């Protein structure tokens, strides 16, 4: 029987968001500055052996969900190899991926065979010119990736749209229609003041309640549910299978039911997305710590997990970019 990880607010930690690289092939303006090159050096990345060992320790502490994130996780070579090793770990029930899909067409089948079950894809616009303006990349690569994910049998495919005033908020209905037509699940996300870029984008912040009310004028929205350990609050469009999720860290945060921690590519355990509390695991791993010592260190760290973020009160607080912990 696996142990459990519970913090001082009686929140059970059962989910690890695992960033396998801080690098990305896109430069979304609310995440990474254009031309940014100051990434972590590969020798500081946890190796696949180290990642597998840390995740195995977490599964023995009751963690049964792992999400592969980045930066862009598919920038890390041989990601399907790592996925297969993690999927084989006893106690790991749910292995999923968050990606910008630019490389998914090449890897979808292999990831599926490796044991990745669900995929979340970032897509803020359906307009090629606007896509390039927001990300610096090419929309068609993402659409090819989405199609490959569908062909590989990923289900559900969740589309994540960061809604920004005066940037893409005029496309909300079109994104609903797109997901309706393709059978995807749609999630809207509020901007978060992560790093300078995130604070810059927060000038474009929209309270998603205004978006929900706008959609309710066009669609009959019913209370909805979705499997998965995430914070989204779902509605369902009446008469369809379309579920729309609202991820509202600013307007209606979900910290009271937080069930996760984040492990960054350099082996730093981040206890909260919106705070700087963390534990460097790489030195422990490379200094020969036993699994019991790793478990004790993780447990002690979780005991320090902050109650909540302070995105509203202290938006300047988090200096790291979203890509360093993968959201
Ligand atoms: S901001 Fe921190 S406490 Fe709140 S949900 Fe995110 S990780 Fe959990």
CA-nearest residue for atom 5, ligand 1, is 255
Residue 1, pLDDT score: 55
> Does the beta carbon of 274 lie inside 6 Å of ligand 1?
yes
**CA distance linking residue 76 with residue 145, whole number of Å:** 17
> Does the beta carbon of 309 lie inside 6 Å of ligand 1?
yes
Q: How far is the CA of 261 from the centre of ligand 1 (A)?
A: 8
Q: Cβ atoms within 10 A of the Cβ of 29, count? A: 17
| Alpha-carbon distances, residue 310 vs 163, 192, 194, 275, 327 (angstroms) | 20, 11, 11, 8, 16
Helix segments in the chain, DSSP class H: 48-60, 79-87, 104-114, 128-135, 139-152, 172-182, 195-201, 208-216, 282-286, 291-302
Query: CA nearest 273: which of 263, 283, 284?
Result: 263
**CA distance linking residue 82 with residue 103, whole number of Å:** 17
Domain count of the chain? 1
In a domain, 3, yes or no: no
Residue 204, pLDDT score: 96
In a domain, 8, yes or no: no
> pLDDT tens for residues 74-84?
999 999 999 99
| Alpha-carbon distances, residue 204 vs 57, 137, 183, 190, 274 (angstroms) | 40, 21, 29, 10, 19
Residue 2, pLDDT score: 62
In a domain, 110, yes or no: yes
Using CB atoms within 10 A of its CB, is residue 203 exposed (0-12), middle (13-18) or buried (19+)?
exposed
> Does the beta carbon of 272 lie inside 6 Å of ligand 1?
yes
Range of the domain at 224: 15-325
In a domain, 96, yes or no: yes
Residue 286, pLDDT score: 97
Q: Residue 286 sits in a domain of what CATH number? A: 3.20.20.70
Mutate to test the pocket of ligand 1, among 17, 192, 274, 277 (most ligand atoms within 8 A of CB): 274
In a domain, 48, yes or no: yes
Identify the segments of the chain with pLDDT beneath 50. none
In a domain, 257, yes or no: yes
In a domain, 244, yes or no: yes
Query: CA nearest 121: which of 73, 51, 192?
Result: 73
Q: What is the DSSP letter of 205?
A: -
Which of ligand 1's atoms lies nearest the C-alpha of 306?
A: 3
In a domain, 7, yes or no: no
Residue 34, pLDDT score: 86
Alpha-carbon 107 to chain mean position: 18
> Does the beta carbon of 273 lie inside 6 Å of ligand 1?
yes
Query: DSSP states of 171-183 as a string?
Result: GHHHHHHHHHHHT
CA-nearest residue for atom 2, ligand 1, is 272
């Amino acid at each position: 029987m696996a142990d459990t990880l519970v913090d001082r607010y009686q929140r059970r930690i059962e989910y690890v968001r695992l960033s396998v690289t801080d690098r990305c092939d896109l430069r979304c303006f609310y995440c990474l500055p254009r031309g940014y090159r100051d990434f972590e050096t590969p020798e500081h990345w946890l190796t696949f052996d180290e990642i597998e060992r840390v995740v195995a320790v977490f599964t023995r502490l009751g963690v049964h969900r792992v999400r592969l994130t980045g930066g862009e996780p598919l920038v890390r070579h041989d990601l399907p190899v790592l996925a297969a090793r993690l999927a084989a770990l006893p106690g790991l029930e749910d292995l999923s991926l968050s990606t910008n899909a630019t490389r998914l067409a090449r890897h979808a089948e292999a990831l599926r065979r490796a044991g990745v079950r669900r995929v979340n894809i970032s897509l803020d616009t359906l307009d090629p010119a606007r896509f390039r303006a927001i990300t610096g990349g090419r929309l068609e690569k993402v659409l090819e990736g989405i199609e490959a994910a569908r062909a590989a049998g990923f289900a559900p495919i969740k589309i994540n749209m960061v809604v920004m005033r005066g940037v893409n908020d005029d496309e909300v209905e079109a994104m609903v229609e797109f997901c309706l037509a393709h059978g995807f699940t749609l999630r809207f996300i509020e901007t978060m003041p992560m790093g300078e870029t995130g604070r810059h984008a927060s000038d474009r912040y929209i309270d998603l309640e205004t978006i929900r009310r706008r959609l309710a004028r066009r669609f009959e929205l019913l209370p909805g549910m979705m499997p998965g350990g995430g914070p989204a609050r779902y509605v369902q469009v009446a008469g369809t299978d379309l579920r729309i999720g609202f991820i509202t860290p600013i307007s209606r945060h979900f910290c009271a039911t937080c069930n996760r921690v984040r492990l960054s590519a350099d082996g730093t355990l981040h206890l909260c997305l919106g705070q700087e509390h963390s534990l460097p695991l790489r030195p422990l791993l490379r200094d020969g710590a036993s699994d019991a010592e790793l478990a004790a260190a993780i447990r002690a760290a979780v005991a320090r997990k902050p109650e909540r973020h302070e995105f509203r009160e202290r938006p300047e607080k988090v200096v790291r970019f979203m890509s360093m912990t993968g959201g």
